Structure 1
Amino acid sequence: MKIDFKNQVLPHIVAILVFLVIVIIFFNPTLFGNKELSQHDVWQGRAGAKELRDYRASSGEEGLWTNSMFGGMPAYLITVVYNGDLLTHIQNAYSLFMKSPASIIFMALLSFYILLLAFGVRPYLAIAGAVIFGLSSHHLIGLGAGHNSRITAIAFMPLVLAGIQLAFSRKLIWGFVLTALGLALEIKANHLQITYYLLLIVLIYGAVQLYDASKKKTLAEFSKTIGLLVVAVIVAVGCNFGKLWTTYEYGKYSNRGKSELQAESADGQTGLERDYAFYYSNGITEPITLFVPNFMGGGMQEELSKSSHLAEALRKNGIPPAQVSQQIKAVPTYWGDQPNTAPYYAGAITLFLLILGIFFAEGKYKVWIIISSLLGIALSWGSSFETFNYLMFDYLPGYNKFRSVTFAIIMPILCMPILGFMGLEKFLSDNKTSQHQKKFFLTIGITAGFLLLLVLYSFGGGFRGAVDERLGNIPQWFLDAIRKDRASMLRSDAFRTLFLAGAFFAVLYLYIKEKVSSIVVFSSLIFLTALDMTLISKRYFNDDNFSRNGQRTFFTANEADQEIKKDQDISYRVFNLIDPFNDAKTSYHHKSVGGYHGAKIRRYQDVIEHCLQEERSGFIQSIQQNQPSTAGMSVTNMLNTKYFIFGESKDAIWRNTDANGNAWSVSSVKLVNSPDEELDALCSLDTKNTAVIDQNKFPLAQSDFGNGNIQLVEYKPNYLKYNASFDSDGLGVFSEIYYPKGWKAKLDGKEVDILRANYILRAILIPQGEHTIEFSFEPNAYYIGNTIMMIFNIILILMFLGAIVMSLKNNKPEASTNTDV
């Protein structure tokens, strides 16, 4: 076995070293300093997972259920460890055991590098392509917001496409293995929305390959490749089977599933509401920020220079210098319609390369990339393109489960560099013909023409933004100055893009005139792309994103938390009245009525909207009137809400003496015939004495019951034990959220049925006498799914090792090794 170190090894070593340097530049404070990335969503996630992590650390077991958020919910989408998930070790090795989130960007860089190799792009060009993709502001802004799972899913998208391309290029061994491995890691990232966009790209790719096979009469070969890839998909799904099973199972009962209420399910919709899904939608011209980031004024607020139009206007109107400096630090320059955004940038040189790719890349790949990119842009428009997107939302299977449709912009961010670098590879391989050189000059002409049109627009556009109406009573001269600065920002960035594209054009021109070597082309491209992407991404991801004690400060218990923690009762809930249903910080310290999660149990969400919000408003009003009262808060009381928080001081808590407790007996049951009747009855129900039950789902032979006492004596997230004493046959209602998949109840060691009472709670029939009642959470989806995962993970690892052995034995690399320098 002989290995050509210069051509087969050295380029990949150089690539990894370049990627490491880039990651160090961006994440030095976390890799080598004592700082951490300030990630609000990550901190919220850790807060909601606190009970589960503590239980795992103390018991070595998985809780699988937590009472720390929304009264109680499955842990599947919060934190669950599957011991059958060996992919974690593979992912750690793939990222060179780097700390997250630095590891995510490294994986994105490496994956796109492998993708371009699979498409026949030489390694030193592929390095530049990887830099463009990996350093997109889209990814770094996402990490800054704490969207780690989304960006991780994006990092593996190229790896899946690389495997598929290798398979269709008849490199079947690595095509199969990379597809299975990439898709397994993609699914593991657990961001179905991004995986859905990947599926759309793959389906378009498949359709193009099918058409090509039909034309070339190679349908038999196409079918064999598809069959191989189907097996790879089965392996990838098997590696994540437990996660997929639990997620699918929970999805039917979450707010992403179908509503049981007649009014909300009349149209058959099983996903999110349109207004919620399209709350974030790109404007029609907003995707231009892919090439000119300040086209829409940049982020929501930008810092302007002391020579800006606004600074000059402020000085002219007599504003003191200190106030001028303060005013220009956060100016509302964004003039689009989104409530909160920052520009997603794909690179200045990408525009030039995209047009070059349209001229030079193979036809079927052009069709694939153009359709995928345009579809992604159209989907990102959301409500700005209602005719198309409402149709997609209503009829495209599964699409109505996702929100923030602006994330669809990842489709062109991923696809455009593929086409660009395929075109560049083709051009560099054969650039001597006059026809090719003509297309080359036409490319620079189109690029320059487009950018100059934007410059002209900067002199004539109105630059009036939706934010202008929300600025209040500000002088017209102030608005006029901001609009002039918006125009200047666009003009400056258009010239910037033109300069960078022109610089690379000049290098290519010198190359085709044989004035410089290919190594100058490669090094110039890597330098220009790295400089370009770094400068833009640093606008929105810089030292300000890191802090020394941010997480510790976030989780520190305030006086109110400390005061409540003095209560040693075995279990009770806390209701933080300040934005309770978008806050997991309370969940870090207490079992909470509220929380922070995108997939609540749907019935609990119904109770929030129909009962809890109204009760919360009434209690806040009573506090404001200095007469706190829990009268009329029967739903809050049935959730065993022992404390209310309305501030951070120890005086900003209210102990609720009317809470129903952990469990209680009711003397009567109101029988109803539908979920609508059940929910309507609940909001005005005397929950201490009466329960409401849907008799169509849980038929009862009687509606009157005896009195009894129920006391919680042992608590774990997945196990509850009660002692009960009843003077006659009774019905016990438990302040625990009903979930039909996994919870089991035992009465004196014998399994009994769990009823659903009060729309969201558990109840059981209890005979006369002294009894022990136990609830345990034992979902088959986790335990069986975990075993299946272990089997498929071992299969995948063996396949990967086998592919390496075969490659070394044959010494025939599957991807292109064109390293012409």
Structure 2
Amino acid sequence: MKNFEPKKDLYPHLIAVFVFLIVTVVFYSPVFFENKELPQHDILQWKGSAQELAAHREQTGEEGLWTNSMFGGMPGYLVNVEFSGELTKNIQRLLSLYLPHPTGIILVAFISCYIMLLSFGVRSWIAIAGALAFGLTSFNIISIGAGHNAKVSAVAYMPLVLAGVHAAFTNRKFLGFILTALGLALQLRVNHLQITYYLLLMVLVYGLFELIQSIKAKTLPEFAKTVSVLVAAVLIAVGANFGKLWTTIEYGTYTMRGKSELTVDGVDAKSGLEKDYAFQYSNGIFEPLVMFIPNFFGGTSQQNLGKNSNLEQALKKQGANRQQIQQQVQAAPAYWGDQPLTAPYYAGAIVVFLFVLSLLVLDRKYTMWLWVLVLVSIVLSWGKNFESFNYLVFDYLPGYNKFRSVTFVIIIAVFSMILSGFVGLEKVLSSTWDKTLQKKFMIAIGIVGGFALLAAVLAGMGSYRGAIDERLASYPAWFLDALRADRASLLRVDAFRSLFFVLAAAAVIWFFAKNKLSKPLAYTLIIALVLIDMFGVDKRYLNGDNFVAATRSDFIASDADKRILKDTDPNYRVLNLMNPFNDAETSYFHKSVGGYHGAKMRRYQDLIEASISPEIAGVIENLQAGEFDFKDAEVLNMLNTKYLKAGETANAVIPNPAANGNAWFVRDVVEVNNTDDELMAMASIDSKLEAVVNVEEFVLGELGYDSTAQVNLTSYAPNKLTYQSNSDQSGLVVFSEIYYPKGWSATIDGQASEILRANYVLRALKVPSGSHEIVFEFRPQSYYTGNTVTWIFNVILVLSCVAYVVVSVRRQ
């Protein structure tokens, strides 16, 4: 039994957490000391899309599960749905020390990486430096600035899972079980499956190399035992998020990431995203060099070139005024890589140096998996710029075609370099400083420092022409020449900057090894250098200028919104003519035809491309010609688009008297036999009198028509709609509600009725003659059963953590 020694066993970890907390508070100082907040584009859009569900929860205390605020209607699972059984939410808050979101995300990343480095045998003081490098990588900071909080949160928990896996394979199975189960449960909770997919790739590569070592050492039974422990941990983590995963997977099959029901040239389409969409953002072949020199490709698509830049001087010579100069210089298109928009994912000059050093000093059989991950990550990030490999992976690697923006995969390289680099530094600091080690150390300096020096010296030799320059074709030659000179200057300055940090870190390690520096001073200098290196680059992308005074609400109803909101009809849709399919702000106040979300229903996207977008173009053309007749906009009318917004003033609201309303009886049914014909028929129907139905899927039977029949909406909630119908004949009623086959039920006077799909995306019912109450209700089993399973496994997870703490304390 080992005696507990606070100075050795507790104090270093408390100091580490204190350092992480101070760094977090300083980084987000405007939040903590100036009552400011960080406006995040994607979070602002999310708030707009989530408002209906949030309001329903506040008013009723229940989850709405379905929202009509975007794209006509969609499940709310990926918008704003809470599971009451998620006890891990409290653990997440504890790990972030209850800091306000999103400031606590990098604190979690610090702690998670610190635990991982300790698990790999790195001393606590060096682990602090590695954790700071991980939390402050510009991948995280740039993503937070854009509002990709879920992505960064998922990244933050990756080290915790790897710590558990490694602990299990190094004879600490109980600890490995707890860390893996807890880390994966927390990561799955934030629900960013793309980062979880990357984590899975990392664990599989690690496991493959462990298997190879096990076969060589003839210890397969022990390997199997460890795997079984980890499988149990994974099952608990999955169980703790069962409801969220079930609903997400269930819905995913009907989104753009699922299989299309349309055919391409007569052949059934494959599931997943289109290649052009998935690979829209792909690194150029040399672009991963920004992990070492952040401005290697000019930095961001809108970069502040600073005072005395070549562009500023050129503008002054041309007689530009101060305001014009400021506008051009502060948002210059400095980036000259292959992507339409980007910002550099910087891993750190010191991290890259330590990684190269680790390649020379660590035993390959234990670290080759990290080298493989770095290489594979870089190659995958090339995307369309390395088609021969990446298109093959996209077509045949299971699940890979569900994700876009393949540049995100570079986080695997950043993660692996940090892990390998600081494990390598631990090896250097723990080893005898003999001639062999000194030689390897100098080789690492020569490779990394030499490259930085070469990049600085040769910076003036590039063309500095990029994809973004196509948009600058109308600019004069003097402007482009000055801009390209600034791009070269940015590269040169950052190359010298990286060289400085490499040499500074190397000097600290050298003098420490030669006993010229004490341990406390050497550790402090390494931590300080890493912090200054990462902090300096991060503040280019997230600084005091990005924060604004905190407000009570991000949304203020415009005069146009106020005019529309005077309508007392409980359910109608609004079309914002200004970029409707990248806008969720409209959704805050209204039920929108458009929206902003990465997982639209595929059928709705089909309809956008085939009918809605052409109709919008036609409507705009008519409005410009002074015509306000919308009778030909059949799809917009069937979606009950009662108002159009052409601006934010009251007179920018355009009523649409041709909208079909909430529900209507149709006279005729256009019968089709496949999905292609179903979509094609939408281009030529009179949606008030006709409905398109795929009779291969739905049986209609005998139907009549009463021209005086009516169907009225009498009660509205996101998950429950009640109608009253009156008709002298039985007939087919079409509802301006989006059809979704999972979870919706319909009753007529309390009797279950089959929900049909009409007009490609809408619901329909066969309604008998007479007066009837029709109720639609959304109660998906995936949520209600999933919530129960979630609660059970959350309890198991928490009890397992408590048991580990109790056992550990008793051992001490």
Give me the TM-score of the superposition, normalised by structure 2: 0.98
| Residue number in structure 2 paired with 1:566 | 566
The answer to whether the 8 A contact 1:582-1:595 is kept is yes
1:304 CA drift (Å):
2.2
For 1:56, what is the secondary structure of its paired residue?
helix
SS at match of 2:722: strand
Task: Give, in angstroms, the shift of residue 515 of structure 1.
Answer: 1.2
The Cα offsets for residues 690-748 of structure 1, whole Å up to 9 and x where unpaired, read as 11110110022235444521111011110011111110111111111111100000111
| Cα distance in 2, alignment partners of residues 267 and 746 from structure 1 | 35
Which residue of structure 2 aligns with residue 665 of structure 1? 665
Paired residues of 2:262 and 2:268 also in contact (CA < 8 A): no
2:285 counterpart residue number: 284
What's 1:469 paired with?
A: 470
Alpha-carbon offset, residue 594 of structure 1: 0.8
CA contact (8 A) 2:563 2:650 kept: yes
Which amino acid in the other structure matches residue 422 of structure 2?
A: F
The aligned counterpart of 1:71 is 72
8 Å CA contact retained: 2:303, 2:330: yes
Q: CA deviation at 1:244?
A: 0.6
Once the two structures are superposed, residues 345-396 of structure 1 have per-residue CA deviations (whole angstroms, 9 ceiling, x without a partner) of 1111012101111112232332111111111111111111111111111111
Determine if contact 1:394/1:400 at 8 Å carries over to the other structure: yes
2:113 corresponds in structure 1 to: 112
Partner of 1:764: 765
* CA distance, structure 1, for counterparts of residue 268 and residue 545 of structure 2: 47
Read off the aligned partner of 1:129 and give its amino acid letter. Answer: G
Residues 318, 49 of structure 1: CA spacing in aligned structure 2 closer, same or farther, 3 A cutoff?
A: closer
Q: What residue in structure 2 maps to residue 258 of structure 1?
A: 259
1:19 Cα offset (Å): 0.5
Q: Look up the match of 1:817.
A: none
Could you say which residue in structure 2 is the equivalent of 1:818?
A: none
Q: Which residue of 2 aligns with 1:631?
A: 631
What SS does the corresponding residue of 2:801 show, helix, strand or coil? Answer: helix
Partner in structure 2 of residue 189 of structure 1: 190
User: Could you tell me how far apart the structure 2 residues matched to 1:45 and 1:58 are?
Assistant: 20
Which range moved further: 729-738 or 114-123?
A: 729-738
User: Partner residue of 2:805?
Assistant: 804
Give the structure 2 partner of residue 303 of structure 1. 304
What residue in structure 1 maps to residue 429 of structure 2?
428
Match of 1:390 in 2: 391
Contact 1:431 1:437 in 2 (8 A): no
Question: 1:529-565: per-residue Cα shift (whole Å, max 9, x none)?
Answer: 011110100000011221115783x411111100000
Q: Does 1:246 align with 2:247?
A: yes
**Cα distance in structure 2, aligned partners of 1:795 and 1:317:** 71
1:42 Cα offset (Å) = 0.4
- Contact kept, 8 Å, 1:302 with 1:329, in 2: the verdict is yes
Map 1:303-702 onto structure 2 (within 5 A). Answer: 303-319=304-320, 323-549=324-550, 552=553, 554-702=554-702
**Counterpart contact for 2:263–2:269, Cα < 8 Å:** no
Deviation at 1:431, TM superposition (A): 2.9
Q: Residue type of the partner of 1:269? A: K
SS in 1 for 2:458: helix
Q: Residues of 2 paired with 1:698 and 1:27: CA distance?
A: 57
Q: SS at the partner of 1:587? A: helix
User: Are the aligned partners of 1:38 and 1:550 in contact in 2 as well (CA < 8 Å)?
Assistant: no
The residue number in structure 2 matching 1:215 is 216
* SS across alignment from 2:732: strand
- Check the 8 A contact 1:337/1:465 in 2, yes or no: yes
Aligned partners of 1:747, 1:390: CA distance in 2, in Å? 50
* Bigger shift: residues 655-664 or 325-334: 325-334
Q: Structure 2 CA distance, aligned partners of 1:311 and 1:664? A: 63
CA shift at 1:317, angstroms?
Answer: 4.3
**Pair 319,545 (structure 1): closer, same or farther in 2 beyond 3 Å:** closer
**Structure 1 counterpart of 2:194, one-letter code:** Q
CA apart distance, 1:45:
0.5
**The residue matched to 2:650 in structure 1 has which SS?**
coil
Post-superposition Cα deviations, 1:255-296, rounded to whole Å, max 9, x if no partner, equal 110111122882541011111111111111111110100100
Letter of the structure 2 residue corresponding to residue 609 of structure 1: E
Aligned partners of 1:37 and 1:546 also within 8 Å: yes
Asked if the contact 1:671/1:703 (under 8 Å) is kept, the reply is no
User: CA contact under 8 A between 1:306 and 1:325: conserved in structure 2?
Assistant: no
- Residue 17 (structure 2) aligns with: 16
1:494 Cα shift?
A: 0.8
Contact 1:209 1:364 (8 Å CA) reproduced: no
Q: Distance in 2 between matches of 1:689 and 1:488?
A: 66
The 2-side partners of 1:314 and 1:515 are apart by 52
Q: 1:314 to 1:592 in 2, by over 3 A?
A: closer
The worse-fitting range, judged by mean Cα deviation, of 455-464 and 107-116 is 455-464
1:153, CA displacement in angstroms? 0.3
Deviation at 1:318, TM superposition (A): 4.5
SS in 1 for 2:712: strand
Measure, in 1, the Cα distance between the counterparts of 2:358 and 2:332: 38
* Separation in structure 2 between the aligned mates of residue 757 and residue 535 of structure 1, nearest angstrom: 57
**Normalized against structure 1, the TM-score is what?**
0.97
Pair 1:318–1:725, CA change in 2 (3 A): closer
Counterparts of 1:317 and 1:374, CA distance in 2: 47
Query: Shift of residue 241 of structure 1?
Result: 0.4
Structure 2 counterpart of 1:171? 172
Q: Is the 8 A contact 1:671 1:692 kept in 2?
A: yes
Aligned equivalents of 1:315, 1:630: Cα separation in 2: 52
- What is the letter of the counterpart of residue 440 of structure 1? F
CA change 1:451–1:625 in 2 (3 A) is: same
State the 1:189 CA deviation.
1.1
What is the rounded CA distance, in whole Å, between the counterparts of 1:668 and 1:57 in structure 2? Answer: 43
Q: Work out the CA distance in 1 between the residues paired with 2:593 and 2:278.
A: 25
**Separation (CA, whole Å) in 2 of partners of 1:653 and 1:797:** 53
Shift of 1:319: 4.3
Instruction: Quote the residue 2:47 is aligned against.
Output: 46
CA distance in 2, matches of 1:289, 1:100: 28
Would you say 1:226 and 2:227 are equivalent positions?
yes
* Kept in 1: contact 2:261–2:268 (CA 8 A): no
Residue aligning to 2:96: 95
- Aligned residue in 1 for 2:710: 709
For residues 244 and 441 of structure 2, the distance between their equivalents in structure 1, rounded to whole angstroms, comes to 49
CA contact (8 A) 1:669 1:703 kept: no
Offset, 1:766: 1.1
Call closer, same or farther: CA 1:305–1:742 in 2, change over 3 Å.
closer
What amino acid is aligned across from residue 165 of structure 2 in structure 1? I
Aligned-partner residue type, residue 462 of structure 2: G
Moved more, 471-480 or 637-646: 471-480
Structure 1 residue 473: Cα displacement: 3.0
Residue-pair matches, total:
810
- One-letter amino acid matched to 1:428: L
Corresponding residue number in structure 2 for 1:160: 161
The residue type equivalent to 1:174 in the other structure is L
| Matched residue SS, 2:715 | strand
Write the distance in 1 (CA, Å) between the matches of 2:331 and 2:573.
Answer: 40
CA distance in 2, matches of 1:36, 1:305: 25
